[in-house]
Chain A
Amino acid sequence: MKYREFLKDKILQIVLLMFAVITIEIFLLAYRVDNFIRIYIFISIMGMYLVGLLIEYLKKKKFYKNITVTLDELQEKYLITEIINTPDFIEGKIFKEIVEQIDKSMHENVNKYKYLSKDYKEYIELWIHEVKTPIATSRMIIENNKNEVTKSIEEELDKLENYIEQALFYARSNNVEKDYYIKKSNLKDIVNECIKKNKNELIQNKIQIDTKKLGVEAVNTDAKWIVFILNQIIQNSIKYKSTKIKIYSEIGKENIKLYVKDNGVGIKENEIKRVFEKGFTGTNGRIINKKSTGIGLYLSKKLCDKLGVAIKVMSNEGVTVKLVFPNNSFNEVLQN
């Protein structure tokens, strides 16, 4: 609040008062009142008024400056009413009350949507758990009646399961709540589980798996989430015509790196920045695999962010995906 703006705001009052004082002065002049009294009346009225203005200005300036500075520093700006003091002038009081009410109504509204989204997520999770029993039953039926037909159905079940898994993690990724559970896991076990999960497709497509350079590194993470993320990566390698997938690890100073390198068609250089965008399929995606949804890597990135794992995609004769797990030392300090 600048002094000039404040004065501009008060201009009407000042003009009216000036008018009143001038008329009084004219009357006093007409009655030939002593000069001293005339000047005294003029100065006392105008002076008192100006002093009053100055006090009001300083008070308001302090209050509004306080508000703007706090607002700038605050991340959740809607919490401002909780922080500032109630001002001691009437407009301020009214205004604060109004903002508080607006805040309250916004909270109610946001809560409604929070609840709706939570409700929906819970429904999706429930639905996914329900649907797993019929899938398990179907697999048992296939196991008990092995032939060419059931084998073909089994392949379709694999796909179905992947899509269902994706839906589950999509629901989880949008949730604000912490859904994961960090514990010490063995990187090799995680990778092996993921390969076993994809064994039907990998064997059928005659894809060679090389895990010779994969160590038994311990990482602190949610193994199920990482299995899902790796699954998306391996599914991509299968889709994009790889014949060889090399999975290896490296121990860095402050992290553990996991690489998945395939020799598929790769990603065009100018498109590599966009692979984590939702719905992005890329030129190769559209030509080779018409069923690309552009969800897999988008979701992987989102989940990685939540877990604090860095993910990077590089393309150079096939695709290499790098996952960087933060080192254990920090987490171990936390645990101790």
Chain B
Amino acid sequence: MSKKILVVEDDEKLRSELKIFLNNNGYDVEILENFDNAIKEIIRINPDLLLLDINLPKINGQYVCKEVRKNSSLPIIIITSRDNEIDELLSINYGADHYITKPFNVQILLAKIASLLKRADYSINQEVVDCGQFKLNISKSLVIKGDKKIELTKNEFKILRCLISSRDKIVSREDIMKDLWDSESFIDDNTLTVNITRLRNKLEELGIKELLETKRGQGYILRREML
């Protein structure tokens, strides 16, 4: 069952784009259109996670956050254009889990949502992901095939995850690099080539051949049928 995220944001276009984006990433999205009874509505909808703007018509997001927090421990991410420390501090004190300023990096937003949801719900064990031909152990950066397993470095693992998450699509070298940079591995072009080669070699050791196909001048692609 996919997780339900409630978006409380007064800009219509932004919330509908957020909805599309989050839907594309596998979340159910509900939108609050009327803020008159925001707090009651939020509690009634009972989402798994709340994305909350501060500047709302008629009501202040920080107040909403404080009131919701009084009788719920649901994860709250504040998304706002107010980028001063005081508002951030206030929001965190009122019980927000994260404070993201507009314009935000969408990948970081996704990562924060994922980590909050994971922490909020221990029952879902996302530790091992089944990719068909092999399995991935996320916390240990392991690729497991049958009874053989091999450990990947942080970067190799991230490259593989990046390609798996957009399988059947060509992923450019630039996109892979951006993904790695988001997690603070500021690798350059050459290092990426080295990492890809090592990743291929390690996969071959497990007998997984030709998983990563090079598209000359465009990037790499991982085909679904290879999994």
B225 close to chain A: CB less than 8 A:
no
- Which residues from chain B contact A179 at a C-beta distance below 8 Å? 84
CB pair A209–B188 under 8 Å, yes or no, is yes
A:176-221 near B, CB below 8 Å: 179, 181, 183, 192, 195-196, 199-200, 202-204, 206, 208-209, 211
B145 close to chain A: CB less than 8 A:
no
Q: Which of B18, B102, B105, B178 has the most CB of A within 10 A?
A: B102
- Which residues from chain B contact A195 at a C-beta distance below 8 Å? 181, 184, 186
Q: Tell me, in angstroms, the Cα distance from A200 to B103 when the chains sit together.
A: 15
Among listed A81-89, A112-120, A139-147, interface-contacting one:
A139-147
Q: Tell me, in angstroms, the Cα distance from A133 to B102 when the chains sit together.
A: 6
B:45-82 near A, CB below 8 Å: 55, 79, 81-82
CB pair A181–B182 under 8 Å, yes or no, is no
CB pair B103–A203 under 8 Å, yes or no, is no
Q: In this complex, what residue of A is CB-closest to B172?
A: A151
CB pair A135–B84 under 8 Å, yes or no, is no
CB pair B24–A144 under 8 Å, yes or no, is yes
Decide if the interface of chain A is mainly helix, strand, loop or mixed: helix
Q: In this complex, what residue of A is CB-closest to B182?
A: A196
> What 1/0 mask marks residues of chain A from 242 to 264 whose CB sits below 8 Å from any chain B CB?
00000000000000000000000
Q: Tell me, in angstroms, the Cα distance from A139 to B184 when the chains sit together.
A: 21
A140-B14, A144-B24 in contact; A183/B85 too (CB < 8 A)? yes
B20 close to chain A: CB less than 8 A:
yes
Expressed in whole angstroms, the minimum distance between the Cβ of A161 and any Cβ of chain B is 7
Chain B interface residue number, banded: 20 to 34
CB pair A129–B82 under 8 Å, yes or no, is yes
CB pair B21–A203 under 8 Å, yes or no, is no
B121 close to chain A: CB less than 8 A:
no
B174 close to chain A: CB less than 8 A:
yes
> Which one, B24, B82, B86, B186, contacts A209 given CB within 8 A?
B186
Q: In this complex, what residue of A is CB-closest to B25?
A: A143
Q: Which of B14, B24, B84, B186 has the most CB of A within 10 A?
A: B186
Q: Tell me, in angstroms, the Cα distance from A303 to B106 when the chains sit together.
A: 29
A140-B18, A206-B188 in contact; A222/B106 too (CB < 8 A)? no
A130-B81, A140-B17, A204-B174 in contact; A192/B103 too (CB < 8 A)? no
CB pair A141–B17 under 8 Å, yes or no, is yes
A:222-274 near B, CB below 8 Å: 222, 224
A136-B104, A143-B106, A196-B184 in contact; A206/B189 too (CB < 8 A)? yes
> Which one, B18, B81, B188, contacts A132 given CB within 8 A?
B81
Q: Using a CB–CB distance below 8 Å, which chain A residues touch chain B?
A: 128-130, 132-133, 135-141, 143-144, 157, 161, 179, 181, 183, 192, 195-196, 199-200, 202-204, 206, 208-209, 211, 222, 224
Q: Would you list 18 pairs from A and B whose C-beta atoms are within 8 A, ordered by A residue?
A: A129-B55, A129-B81, A129-B82, A132-B101, A132-B102, A133-B11, A136-B102, A137-B11, A141-B17, A144-B24, A199-B178, A199-B181, A199-B182, A202-B181, A203-B178, A203-B181, A211-B186, A224-B83
